Amino acid sequence: MVSPRAHGVGTAAVARALEQALAAQGYDVLYGHGTAEPTTRKGLGQLHTWYGDRMGRASMLADLDIAIVERASDHALVLVEVEETTDRAKVLIGDVFTALLGSGVSHLGRQLYVGAWTTLAVVARLRRAARADRLPFIEEQVMALKAKLTTPNAVIGRVLVRGYGTDAELEAVLLDIVQSATHR
């Protein structure tokens, strides 16, 4: 039997909570997991990163889980990939680079703009507390390598790699990331 976590249940719940908290502040919360509900705005739908001149199935690199977007400008302030089932270093590093190697980010055909104002966050459920010790190392090395990239998404200003233990901690970590990004 597949765990419900594999289907982004916790991620979807946090995205809906962020959606309610940020709607009045001029931000759209877009997310790729969950089911449509009467309270769901237009936020539910796949967030794609791709390479090349045109987005298409053949050029798609990855899907992201959550985007916090300034409604008036379509500037993506925060892009989030949540790993609910693994904290393996190679998965976290892969999550970062599939976003950074891209030529763009879109949600249901809506082009999102990335730049120095954008924070890319990869957040993983930690299986053991000791694994949190390697997250700052991964983050530091990713930032050093990011400076060498020439892809359009490499203009993303900040990359964060964080861990959490419970769904409540996931919400707190994401709220902290969003608050720091929206108050820069």
In this predicted model, what pLDDT tens digit does every residue of 148-180 receive, in sequence order? 999 999 999 999 999 999 989 999 999 999 999
Q: For the chain, how many residues are written? A: 184
In this predicted model, what pLDDT tens digit does every residue of 63-92 receive, in sequence order? 999 999 999 999 999 999 999 999 999 999
How does residue 1 score in pLDDT terms, banded at 50, 70 and 90? very low
Closest-CA residue to 154 (of 61, 87, 82) = 61
Residue for token pair 């919360």: 29
- Check whether 2 has a pLDDT greater than 70: no
The Cα-based distances of 165 to 30, 64, 79, 135, 140 in angstroms read 23, 20, 20, 14, 22
Average pLDDT over the chain, rounded to whole?
Answer: 88
How does residue 137 score in pLDDT terms, banded at 50, 70 and 90? very high
Q: What is the pTM of this model?
A: 0.90
- Check whether 62 has a pLDDT greater than 70: yes
- Check whether 58 has a pLDDT greater than 90: no
pLDDT at 130: 74
Q: Which tokens hold the place of 161?
A: 């790699």
- Check whether 142 has a pLDDT greater than 90: yes
**More confidently predicted of 57 and 175:** 175
For the segment 128-144, the average pLDDT, to the nearest whole number, is 92
For the sheet with 66-70, list strands across it: 27-31, 66-70, 75-83, 119-125, 158-164
